[in-house]
Amino acid sequence: MLADELEKVLHCEIKREAPLSPLSTLGVGGRVECFLEPSRMEDFQAVFALRSREGFPLYILGGGSNAVFGDGLVPGVLLSTRRWNSSSWREAEDTVSVEVQAGHPLSSLVDEAARRGLGGLEFAIGIPGTVGGAVAGNAGAGGRSVGDLLTEVVTVEPEGALRRRGRGEFIYAYRSFPLAEEGRLFLSCTVALRPCPREAVEAELGRFRSARGIQPRGERSAGCTFKNPAGKSAGQLLDECGCKGMSVGDAVVSERHANFILNRGRASGADIVSLIKACQERVFERTKVWLEPEVKFLGFGRDAPVEFAREKDGPCAS
């Protein structure tokens, strides 16, 4: 069995058939075959090395703030970075760098930067999840993103080797970091910030906090469901197409912000996915714009919502 093989090479606890719904902010999902929360670098490497030999499904989990989990038993390993969460600050002549591990909460990094009078991360106020997840998805707001601040990233490669890359050795784009899409784990990164008057930092934090005021609070969601298409707002397109209030089971499109899908009680992963697909299809039918999901799907296989549409034939088959 997979858990038995993992026990031979790991120091951390291996939880068998662990429930998924408590691991995400959306609160849906069944169980996963094996769940791990390593706190040693060699354990992360060992999991990747074993996967390269055995070929089992491997999923990475940070804060669970942009994940939709499937129902039933999901095969493979869910690897959490939440116990890999330290940070180290270093001052230079005109910048301050922080090397931060993947499981460190992004909100804690934003708060500490503000406390130290450092500017650059204000746009991330209110973005949930971990630093590793923010890097993997190149999280951002207001035209700024995490990738703009990175000077170095450390990854576990698909075969388990450790690699350090400086700026110029990686690329990033809107809500995309290709290294993460090629089967790697972001183990840590270095972010460069600049000294800034505290009042200026607080003003920027207030500006971005205010901009997030229209988002639903105190609700179970996975954050923004769709990426913004080029030159357009996904939320505005969904609103104009009458998606607010659409529902499948206990999954519902927020009346407050159409780019948020909420679990209002006992939604299943299948409910969430069905509603996402319905929104994609409605917007495409009315605008010919195909919305690409910003959330990640675990345990759906070919049933996950498609990301792109064929130019002539409409949405491609899942």
Q: Are residues 241 and 290 in the same domain?
A: yes
Domain match, 133 and 173 both: yes
pLDDT at 273: 96
CATH number of the domain within which 30 lies: 3.30.43.10
pLDDT at 181: 80
Q: Are 85 and 103 in contact (CB under 8 A)?
A: yes
The pLDDT tens digits for 266-281 are 999 999 999 999 999 9
Asked whether residue 208 falls in the same domain as residue 106, the answer is: yes
The CATH number given to whatever domain includes residue 116 is 3.30.465.10
- Residue pair 264/287 in contact by the 8 Å Cβ criterion: no
- Is the CB of residue 279 less than 8 Å from the CB of residue 243? yes
Confidence (pLDDT) at 147 = 95
Residues 293-315: pLDDT tens digits? 999 999 887 777 766 543 333 33
Distances (CA, A) of 158 to 4, 45, 171: 21, 9, 18
DSSP structural state of residue 149? G
The answer on 180 and 129 residing in a single domain is yes
Q: At which of 80, 104, 135 does a domain end?
A: 80
For 198-223, how does the pLDDT look when each residue is reduced to its tens digit (9 = 90+)?
Answer: 999 999 999 999 888 778 878 899 99
Same domain, 239 and 266: yes
One domain for residues 181 and 237? no
Q: Verify that 296 and 267 share a domain, yes or no.
A: yes
Q: Range of 29's domain? A: 2-80
* CATH number of the domain within which 264 lies: 3.90.78.10
Q: Which residue has the higher pLDDT, 236 or 306?
A: 236
Mean pLDDT of 49-55: 96
Rounded to an integer, what distance in angstroms lies between the CA atom of residue 59 and that of residue 183?
A: 9
Provide the residue type at 21 as one letter: S
Q: For residue 93, name the pLDDT band (cuts at 50, 70, 90).
A: confident
**Span 144-185, pLDDT tens digits:** 999 999 999 999 999 999 999 999 999 999 888 998 888 899
Same domain for 170 and 197: yes
In a shared domain, residues 71 and 175: no
| Position 27 pLDDT exceeds 80 | yes
Domain end among 193, 213, 233: 213
* Confidence at 316, pLDDT banded by 50, 70, 90: very low
Answer whether 96's CB lies under 8 Å from 90's CB.
yes
CA-nearest of 46, 199, 48, 65 to 134 is 65
Residue 103 and residue 205 in one domain: yes
| End residue of a domain, out of 173, 189, 213 | 213
pLDDT per residue as tens digits for the range 111-139: 999 999 999 999 999 999 999 999 999 99
pLDDT at 307: 62
What integer pLDDT is reported at residue 313 of this predicted model?
Answer: 37
**Can you tell me whether residue 280 is helix, strand or coil?**
helix
Contact 314, 304 (CB under 8 A): no
Q: What is the pLDDT of residue 214?
A: 77
Q: What's the pTM?
A: 0.90
Question: Are both 239 and 307 inside the same structural domain?
Answer: yes
Say if residue 96's pLDDT is above 50: yes
Count of domains for the chain: 3
pLDDT given at position 303: 74
Looking at the structure, do residues 164 and 117 belong to the same domain, yes or no? yes
Task: Report the interhelical angle of 2-9 vs 41-54 (nearest 10°).
Answer: 140
pLDDT surpasses 80 at 283: yes
